[in-house]
Amino acid sequence: MYEVRVEAKFEAGHKRGPDGEIDSLHHHAWKVAAYARSHDLDHIGLVIDFRVLRTIVDEVLETLDQRVLEDVDGFNESGPTVPAVAAWIFERLDGRMRTITGGENGTEADRTHDFWLAAVEVEADPGIRFEYRPD
């Protein structure tokens, strides 16, 4: 099994506290890591071109950057907890990765190489991370 990790950052605020109470607006410098996996390497020896993965991560995080998270679709009712943010990012990254080569993620002409998004890790406060990894 091979894995590549791409890291990125965004800044965003939120108003909800850990118990769902409305607090004053405060910001975090969020750190995100996206992990892509493959059983083998493509014709140039990669899981996925890390530049492609980084571009997709940056595009998804751009939706959250400099925003109040409760104003973003998906957080207005449930609240932007770190686990919820990790799952939200995962869902969007996974959807984007599935479209890279027509939905099957193969980078070889015969689609024999396959890769997938394995996990997203999010840190809102230094040293405290949450990982979302579907079954």
Enumerate residue ranges in the chain where pLDDT < 50: 102-106
pLDDT for the residue 75: 84
The residue with tokens 């899981």 is 47
pLDDT for the residue 23: 81
State the Cα–Cα distance between residues 13 and 71, nearest whole angstrom: 10
pLDDT for the residue 112: 63
Number of domains present in the structure of the chain: 1
Angle at 127 between CA 28 and CA 132, to 5 degrees: 80
pLDDT for the residue 103: 38
**The domain that contains 46 carries what CATH number?**
3.30.479.10
| Residue from 33, 23, 50 nearest 123 by CA | 33
Residues 95/104, Cβ–Cβ less than 8 Å? no
Residues 120/60, Cβ–Cβ less than 8 Å? no
Print the domain residue range for 71. Answer: 2-13+28-132
